[in-house]
Amino acid sequence: MPNEDPAWANTFIYLVAHRSREEAKKNWAALHADPAFPEYRKQAAQVIEKVGDDYNVDEVYMLPTDYSAMR
């Protein structure tokens, strides 16, 4: 958890690295097309908020810092 603020009480943060935005789109599409993916999403459903028929997931794209090992 980022801190003890109650606003973060049910927040799960994960980082995924992609070489480019285009590669990220391709990788996410492949993940969602994988026949095994629905079972994993089902298992995670209890920790992912659902709004209507969609899961409430924020995507934030970031760039590595100048001193990052990703550079």
pLDDT digits (tens, 9 = 90+) for 6-62: 777 767 777 888 988 999 999 999 998 999 998 988 888 777 767 777 777 778 888
CA pseudo-torsion sign 34, 40, 46, 47? negative
Of the chain, the end-to-end C-alpha distance in Å amounts to 26
Residue 60 identity = V
Alpha-carbon distance of 12 to 9, in angstroms, equals: 9
Give this prediction's pTM: 0.61
How far, in whole angstroms, is CA 64 from its chain's centroid? 17
The residue ranking higher by pLDDT, 71 or 63, is 63
Alpha-carbon distance of 41 to 36, in angstroms, equals: 9
Alpha helices, DSSP H, located in the chain: 21-33, 37-44
